[in-house]
Amino acid sequence: MLEFEQLKLRIEANEGELRDLKDALGYEALCREIEELEAKASAPGFWDDMESSQKILQRTGKLKNTVESYDKLCSLYDDLLVLIEMGNEE
């Protein structure tokens, strides 16, 4: 039991770093930019300029990858805490 509590405390100590990473990435700004780029991609005439449309799609892909990676990290963090709690209950 004590081992799980110590492990939980060690994991929870990293929560601040997780929030700092979100700020460092500019997570909210990334999400807004993705929305803006997706709006451009759905606008009429988007494909008229192939070079511009390619750049927009590439930028959107990079941003989505960054956001998804952060979201996955947060999900893994939450899952780890749940697993520790489950182990502690056993």
pLDDT computed for residue 2 by the predictor: 77
Can you say how many angstroms the Cα of residue 18 is from the centroid of all Cα atoms in its chain?
A: 10
Higher pLDDT, 1 or 23: 23
Mean pLDDT of the 16-24 span: 97
CA 30 to CA 37: how far, in whole Å?
10
The upper half-sphere exposure of residue 9, i.e. CA atoms within 13 Å in the direction of its Cβ, equals 6
CA 50 to CA 60: how far, in whole Å?
15
Mean pLDDT of the 63-89 span: 95
| CA distance to 57, 66, 90, per residue, from 63 (Å) | 10, 5, 41
pLDDT computed for residue 1 by the predictor: 65
